[in-house]
Amino acid sequence: MKILVTGASGFIGRHLINELIEQTSHEIIATSRDLSKARSCDWFGKVRYIPYDLDSSIEDLFDYFGRPDKVIHLAWDGLPNYNDSLHIEKNLYRHYFFIKNLIANGLKEITVTGTCFEYGMKNGCLSENDQTEPSNMYGLAKDTLRKFLVELSKSYDFKYKWIRLFYMHGEGQSSTSLFSLLDSAILNKSDSFDMSGGEQLRDFLHIDDVVRNIYLISQQTLYLNQSINCCSGMGASVRRLVEEYLKERNYKLKLNLGVYPYPKHEPMAFWGDIRKLESIKKHAI
């Protein structure tokens, strides 16, 4: 079996490739647009790497990538700027035509990563059965791409799995992410840290758990042509998360609460329903 992973040199991709190498004996095909960045990944040389840019014009992408049995599609530009019109004006259609090209030429199964922002400004536990009401450009683009997949499945014989990612942290994350900023403050021996009020509830999961879940979801057959949450299933205040993170690293920082306003593009308190994910894990044992 051949598994193609797009966005292979990104935050999730570089961890997922290692997970696939560890968990399977299948041939792994990795792709991204930046060969030099891919070469810096510790998996480079252990998989088949095929460079590709979504702006390239290739008539048959299925054949170009060696006719993979499955695709795990992670690639996406423009993050973490969730309100950039790039997501709708450029990303959405590039990814739609990329996926359609693969499917029209023979791909039978694809797993695509979406986002919790597809749910919109809802508070509380977010279930895959909830109606999507995205309130930022990124969420809207991802939700529309999912709907495009639904329509494609009416015309082509293939299966898809749509993974709604929540919050992640771990090695290689964006330098502007919360935990990266904390790491920088610790490294620079800062005595204080500016943040929001910290009372918002978020569902965070370490990247090692995220990629393990992505692997399991991509392999399972319980929930075909459906959305599946990838998260911890628990909401924790950002302040508590920061305090626990500092405690684990035995470092004290004065938290300057309320310096930054709460983000307008996300609700105050939400976490994911993980009943589908738990069922997948149970059947994988």
Q: What is the DSSP letter of 262?
A: P
Domains annotated on the chain, with CATH: 2-168+204-233+273-284 (3.40.50.720), 172-202+234-256 (no CATH)
Tokens (6 digits) for 68: 């993979």
Helices within the chain (DSSP H only): 11-23, 35-39, 61-64, 86, 92-104, 137-152, 178-187, 207-219, 238-248, 275-284
pLDDT, the chain, mean = 96
Q: What is the pLDDT of residues 169-185, one digit of tens each?
A: 999 998 889 999 999 99
Tens-place pLDDT, residues 23-35 = 999 999 999 999 9
pTM of the model: 0.95
Question: In angstroms, rounded to a whole number, what is the distance separating the alpha carbons of residues 267 and 120?
Answer: 8
For residue 285, the model assigns a pLDDT of 65
